Amino acid sequence: MAEQDSVPQIDLFQVVRIVASYVRHYQVEPDQLAALIVGVHHALAGLGRAPPAQQPLRPAVPIRRSVQQEYVVCLECGFRAQTLRRHLRDAHDLEIGDYRVRWNLPIDHPLIAPAYSARRSRIAKAIGLGRRATVPPRTEPVPTTPQRVTRRRGRRPRRPTTIS
């Protein structure tokens, strides 16, 4: 047991070679040199050890209860909002895709409150978004013979100036 808890033997000459090579290529302040040596020593001591196992993530609320009619709840911190996009980006530095991967959420898991989404949909339909533009019926008769359309080319001619 005591043998497992002790620090493994590190070749100090290897630490010196690594630090010397680093200092040769990068500019290091004298007060940072001790921290660099300690960092390299700890890194070499950690080689061969298994990384510490991370505890499984626990959501702030159960996933099934994270979507309510009037709000959605952030699984990271329990924050209630109508939409989580800005909260995730600002508070947790996560994009929507990263959030879904982190919590193993399906692609169709809503991150916008259903009532808010329905309200926005009603407003958009009321002002006419999402419909194709209707073409008003023609009131003038369609010419039977094709007429030649001449187009102007170049700049407009200058207006004549009148001297008074």
pLDDT tens digits along 29-73: 989 999 999 999 988 888 878 777 778 889 999 999 999 999 999
Q: Which residue reads 């989404």 in tokens?
A: 117
pLDDT tens-digit series, residues 103-159 = 999 999 999 999 999 999 999 999 988 888 777 766 776 666 666 666 767 777 778
pLDDT reading at 2 higher than 80 = no
How many other C-beta atoms can be found within 10 angstroms of the C-beta atom of residue 88?
A: 22
In the predicted model, what is the mean pLDDT of the chain? 86
CA distance 40 to 154: 72
Question: According to the model, what pLDDT value does residue 142 have?
Answer: 63
CA distance 69 to 67: 7
For CA atoms 30, 31, 33, 36, the dihedral sign is negative
Share above pLDDT 90 across residues of the chain, in percent, rounded to a whole number: 57
Question: According to the model, what pLDDT value does residue 158 have?
Answer: 79
CA distance 74 to 60: 8
Band the pLDDT of 3: cuts 50, 70, 90.
very low
Question: According to the model, what pLDDT value does residue 1 have?
Answer: 43
The tokens of 82 are what? Answer: 């109508």
Give residue limits of the domains in the chain: 8-46, 63-115
Question: According to the model, what pLDDT value does residue 147 have?
Answer: 64
pLDDT-wise least confident of 75-79, 100-104, 154-158: 154-158
Topology adopted by domain 63-115? Arc Repressor Mutant, subunit A (1.10.10)
Question: According to the model, what pLDDT value does residue 79 have?
Answer: 96
- Given its phi and psi angles, is residue 79 left (phi above 0), alpha (psi -120 to 50 degrees) or beta? beta
pTM over 0.75: no
